[in-house]
Amino acid sequence: MDWVTCSHAAACTGIARPPYGLCLFHLPPDRLDAELAALAPARLLDLRGTRLDPDLLARVLAAVRHRPGRTRLDHARFPGEARLAEVEFAGDVSLNGARFDRLASFYGSRFLGNVSLVGAGFGRELSFHGARVLGHLCLDAAGVARDALFSEAVFARGLSAERAHFDGHTSFDGAVLGETASLRGARFGHTLSLRKLRGGACFERARLLGPVYASVTGRLSFAHAQAGAGVDLAVRGGGVDLRHAVVDGPVRVRLTDSRADLEGAVLRGRAALSGRGLAGLDSLRRVVAPELSLTGLDLSTCRFAGLAHPGGLRVRECSFPLTPRGVRLSLGWPPLRWFTRRRHLADEYGWRGWSKPVEVVVTTEGQASLRASIDDRDTASGVALDGTQPPRKAGRRWWRSPAP
């Protein structure tokens, strides 16, 4: 503790009020009235380490007319319900290490500065429903034993909840993130809901024990995350990062003018990705997905090398690049080769030395057409799934490269 603690008992960590040497909780009634009368709105409120039961908390808020200034409540203890709803905090708020034994409600409150709840413990529910935080909210290493509600809240400079634990249902429905929310390494014990979320959110290396539902305008990242149930994502105007993610349940991703990256992902359930507008897929390299369907996606730059289960891949209404046309010089035999137009995969660019495609073609065919384009070892159009150039057949080859 970096403050002078209460002299009432060695176990009391409340900041001492001069000249009494006692914290606000242990002051006699007459002296408590005098201390509360000295409080003023928009001024410093320093109650570090103090025990604040519901009655004392209500009296403090009434004394500052529900508008405290810079608020310091580090390591404060709230044994009852902490109702801080409809309060306007005129300065930064610090609740690092605070303990809330029951409900902690900031419903509809307004924070004009930053809010820090690093290492705070919530024995029951936490509510920021409808709150407005003009600064940054930090919940790093915090723990919420029951439901956490951030719906309809506005975080102008984003939020951080890295390594936090949310054991109940967690909702960000309708929330607005002015900047990216960082929830790296967080643990979610039940349902995580991100419906109608505006702004980006990063759940890198998070543990998601319940299902995930999201409809986001922005970017979502679940790289290296572990999901024990289903994942249902709808993303508009951003992207989805599922690189090296492990999902045991079904996966459904709907993209609108967005891109997705699944490199190294392990999708043990049925997975389906669909797109509208300028929607595309960047990589399927080393993906393990027994059942994977792609619909309406731009695959002109998607890499397929190392795809573990190509037999379970279904492709419909997706676009592929076309090979360059015309005569090409070769150091081998024959020295001149004429290439016809055909669909191919992005993996072929590297080992043929081609530039990126300027034209793509949409296919309505399914698995068979894609398998023919990547597994035909008898033509120059084949590309091995491990990214290597297919072996050449012995003997002379016809000078014209056949179409698939």
pLDDT value of residue 399: 37
DSSP character string of 200-235: -EE-TT-EE-S-EEEEEEEEEE-TT-EESS-EEEEE
pLDDT of 402 higher than 50:
no
pLDDT value of residue 121: 98
pLDDT of 365 higher than 50:
no
- CA 304/CA 225 separation, integer angstroms: 22
Residue 394: pLDDT band (50, 70, 90) is: very low
Contact call for residues 296 and 318 (beta carbons, < 8 A): yes
Residue 335: pLDDT band (50, 70, 90) is: confident
The domain ranges of the chain are 27-202, 326-401
Which residues are paired to 293 by β-bridges?
272, 314
For the chain, how are helix, strand and coil distributed in percent, rounded to 5?
10, 35, 55
Contact call for residues 126 and 144 (beta carbons, < 8 A): yes
Question: Locate tokens 């949409």: which residue?
Answer: 362
Angle between helices 29-38 and 54-63 (to 10 degrees): 40
Instruction: For residue 19, count other CB atoms closer than 10 A to its CB.
Output: 5
pLDDT value of residue 187: 98
What tens digit of pLDDT does each residue of 44-97 get? Answer: 999 999 999 999 999 999 999 999 999 999 999 999 999 999 999 999 999 999
Check residues 322 and 347 and name the one with the higher pLDDT.
Answer: 322
Comparing C-alpha atoms, which of 127, 120, 162, 125 is closest to residue 142?
120
Residue 328: pLDDT band (50, 70, 90) is: low
What tens digit of pLDDT does each residue of 128-181 get? Answer: 999 999 999 999 999 999 999 999 999 999 999 999 999 999 999 999 998 889
Q: What percent of the chain has pLDDT over 70?
A: 81
